[in-house]
Structure 1
């Protein structure tokens, strides 16, 4: 994977510019009602030299984690014993021209109740878009083509409406794609979703929660909420948190609008309160190495670390426990 060191250096420089440009983080007063995150342990270690840089995560009913290996172009399943199985390989691209990166990468992943996985693939070619991975083991199939100059990243599926939403880190958009007629449409756009600098990364993580699409902006260090209007169009963009320099993916804890956010450059996961204040709850001391994504199932927290900049070794999947303070 000869492109990996170049990509890591580029991404580090871009993200560092975003960190330098960002203002101070909001104060994080002690709050006895905050959930606590404890007992971190590494469930699985991956091989950076093989492109096994875990970028995003979706959970199976049995607690197994489906993760995208960005540079290997693969989807892997990690069971609760730590066993890792490659379940899908995206087709190689002969001459990838992915914006900001150059290499083809698999980014976001989402699972529907029938076991179908949807993944975002960014290549700078006609293969850029959303791909479907069926549970029968058949080859992945492209269901929607996005512009070659886009960089689809976090995705989520609204099964009730049969619509997939995708954050675009370069064009600063949220795309909507009907699973019945997968012609991409720009659902939301604006300055809040754009990168703040050339070759930067804007809209990144994406989740559906409480009547809205929530999006992180890595360059701007912000967490955004875009409510659904009654006709399912996008309402005004609301900034719900700032000072989250280098924020990547995030997951809601189950306590209202509180969430856990991965901060890829700072080697930490932050607990973000509904009022936008935040504090670190997992750090490099727990084994984080450039965390890229978070998932929560009950009292279990899953965190992917891609090790893009931390000596490019020991990418891993970490588990921890989340509980409510008395």
Structure 2
């Protein structure tokens, strides 16, 4: 009862409609309100690629806290998902079968910033099959956890209980994980080689929240770390300098209301971004910063949270944090287009942006 009271009080403070149970937790988690007064994006010139045959391959139980938050793909075509409020990592096979890989430690009295409930967030995978996930509790249990291929769970590093580790990005070549902190407006860098170490890699107003959630999704691409900011509706690019330090943060795209996590389509700078709003969208963001919405709630999205791509297919998780209706995993096919082709990081081939 105390936990629910804390959540209801938070919702009233955030001036959102009164809701109960898991729905209240989820709404407080990600959608205090859509980003206000977001700058308008440049005029779009039309999609650089299109998607076909969107279909839901797995449904989840919202009442049980099975809210898909982040995704990483396995070589056999299955997908590993974090279920934020269930504290679980599950594997969904190509036929929609589900298997729990790990459950993060229970915390008797979580004090997670903004929520007061334990939340598992971002996920990455190394080539040997080891998974790393973010876990937020507001206690000493907060950190980045390791899940081995034989499903042993252990903490890799402690993270600040005052922050909220959201998306994770892997640079396996350099043995690094980058973590976006939605509360502290920080990109943390975690070394995987030797004794793990955590350091604040990038900070600044562009990463900070304005009302609720700041730095959210994160990826590494071409000597840069890319970060989304939910409150500011922006997609950012932070160069990695020769000495490994963070360069000046640049704004790549604006007007992406509700942007959560994202993925690159091919080797260039074309991005597919999950827009976690009442309209539920998957946006194509071009290298020039313009964007087009490719999928919506009519296609099966329900508060999309993250994206992954492979072999002419796009995978989108929906946490249903807005209305509690049908959290799911959706897959769509990339339609073949004319012109030059561009090979993607997981073997997929997309029309050039």
Q: Would you call these one fold, judging by a TM-score over 0.5?
A: yes
Corresponding residue for residue 4 of structure 1: 22
Aligned: 1:60 with 2:74: yes
Matches within 5 A, 1:185-224: 185-197=199-211, 200-224=212-236
Structure-2 separation of matches of 1:290 and 1:223: 18
Aligned length: 318
- Distance 1:12-1:165 versus aligned 2 partners, 3 A rule: closer
Matches within 5 A, 1:45-124: 45-124=59-138
- Distance 1:13-1:255 versus aligned 2 partners, 3 A rule: closer
Matches within 5 A, 1:136-175: 136-138=150-152, 140-175=153-188
For the residue of structure 2 that corresponds to 1:244, the secondary structure is: coil
- Distance 1:12-1:130 versus aligned 2 partners, 3 A rule: closer
Q: Which of the residues 294, 313, 325 maps onto 2:325?
A: 313
Can you give the 5+ residue segments of structure 1 that lack an aligned partner in the other structure? none
Contact kept? 2:303, 2:321, Cα under 8 Å? yes
Structure-2 separation of matches of 1:58 and 1:69: 13
Aligned: 1:28 with 2:44: yes
> Over aligned residues, Cα RMSD in angstroms?
1.4
- Distance 1:164-1:9 versus aligned 2 partners, 3 A rule: closer
Matches within 5 A, 1:221-300: 221-265=233-277, 266-300=279-313
Contact kept? 1:47, 1:313, Cα under 8 Å? no
For the residue of structure 2 that corresponds to 1:155, the secondary structure is: strand
Q: What is the TM-score with the length of structure 1 in the denominator?
A: 0.94
Q: What is the TM-score with the length of structure 2 in the denominator?
A: 0.87
Report the alpha carbon displacement of residue 36 of structure 1 after superposing the two structures with TM.
Answer: 1.1
For the residue of structure 2 that corresponds to 1:192, the secondary structure is: helix
Structure-2 separation of matches of 1:146 and 1:55: 19
Structure-2 separation of matches of 1:26 and 1:128: 40
For the residue of structure 2 that corresponds to 1:4, the secondary structure is: helix
- Distance 1:254-1:12 versus aligned 2 partners, 3 A rule: closer
| TM-superposition CA deviations, 1:53-78 (whole Å, max 9, x none) | 00000000011000000000000000
| TM-superposition CA deviations, 1:64-119 (whole Å, max 9, x none) | 00000000000000000000000100001111111112111000000000000000
Corresponding residue for residue 33 of structure 2: 15
Contact kept? 2:41, 2:289, Cα under 8 Å? no
Structure-1 separation of matches of 2:62 and 2:251: 35
Can you give the 5+ residue segments of structure 2 that lack an aligned partner in the other structure? 5-20, 339-353
Structure-2 separation of matches of 1:321 and 1:63: 14
| TM-superposition CA deviations, 1:113-136 (whole Å, max 9, x none) | 000000000111111110000011
Structure-2 separation of matches of 1:297 and 1:39: 15
For the residue of structure 2 that corresponds to 1:71, the secondary structure is: helix
Q: Which runs of 4+ in 1 moved over 4 A?
A: none
Structure-1 separation of matches of 2:195 and 2:33: 36
